[in-house]
Amino acid sequence: GENVEQHPSTLSVQEGDSAVIKCTYSDSASNYFPWYKQELGKRPQLIIDIRSNVGEKKDQRIAVTLNKTAKHFSLHITETQPEDSAVYFCAASPNAGGTSYGKLTFGQGTILTVHP
Amino acid sequence: DGGITQSPKYLFRKEGQNVTLSCEQNLNHDAMYWYRQDPGQGLRLIYYSQIVNDFQKGDIAEGYSVSREKKESFPLTVTSAQKNPTAFYLCAVGDGPYEQYFGPGTRLTVT
């Protein structure tokens, strides 16, 4: 089955700096890669995703890049703000149809702390 | 994700008892999922259902059971066979094979 590794496990930055979180996956059939943000005690919120037919996607201060050859994808947050502090999870899914439809495998999470 | 409800928010049970967690959605989405989250860890898939009257085991299905008799509902039963049931349980809903949106979760404590 799919295995997703996420690094680093903790990340501390100053307000205004950039933050980068990286994930690798094992199943070459994976073609959908979402990122979730989870604040303490809350539900995970989908913040951005990418599908395997594109290499990069951007939404304001957040961007995700995908390298299918190397089987890794990354989350980039620019101009970080204290409200960006949370746990971030990457995930991968084959979405090849059949019983693997929508089956997400998550990374272990990255605790991001943005210091004012 | 405002259309996904999980109840109760906190649940306490004694060891050896079965307990059923509720997940309801009014988004008219076909796919529903159950995940478990332990402190400091990622989410692990327990069961998922792509359509009414059908469901599949996820990565950690042992000790759990589900049913999908209605499109709106996907209850999860944590049985006494689950060795470490204390966790945060999250239900998710998806429309198609991509985006999944989570409910608020139920924190289950078994003593």
Instruction: Tell whether A3 is within 8 A of chain B (Cβ).
Output: no
- With CB atoms and an 8 Å threshold, state whether A43 touches B40: no
Of B42, B90, B94, Cβ closest to residue A102: B94
Mean pLDDT, chain B, rounded, equals 93
Per-residue pLDDT tens for A40-90? 989 999 999 998 777 999 999 999 999 999 999 999 999 999 999 999 999
Chain A residue closest to B91 (CA)?
A43
Per-residue pLDDT tens for A28-46? 989 999 999 999 989 999 9
- With CB atoms and an 8 Å threshold, state whether B100 touches A49: no
What's the pLDDT band for B97 if we cut at 50, 70, 90? confident
Instruction: Tell whether A99 is within 8 A of chain B (Cβ).
Output: yes
Judged against a pLDDT cut of 60, whether residue B1 lies above it is answered with: no
Supply the pLDDT for residue B98.
Answer: 84
- With CB atoms and an 8 Å threshold, state whether B1 touches A45: yes
Q: Which residues contact A90 (CB under 8 A, 6 or more apart)?
A: A4, A6, A21, A23, A33, A34, A35, A73, A75, A106, A107
Judged against a pLDDT cut of 70, whether residue A95 lies above it is answered with: no
3-state secondary structure (DSSP) of residue A98:
helix
Supply the pLDDT for residue A83.
Answer: 97
- Measured between alpha carbons, how far is residue B62 from residues A73, B12, B46, B84 in Å? 31, 21, 8, 11
Instruction: Tell whether A27 is within 8 A of chain B (Cβ).
Output: no
Give the closest residue to B91 by CA, choosing from B61, B46, B60, B51: B46
B-chain CB neighbours of A108 within 8 Å are: 41-42
Supply the pLDDT for residue A24.
Answer: 98
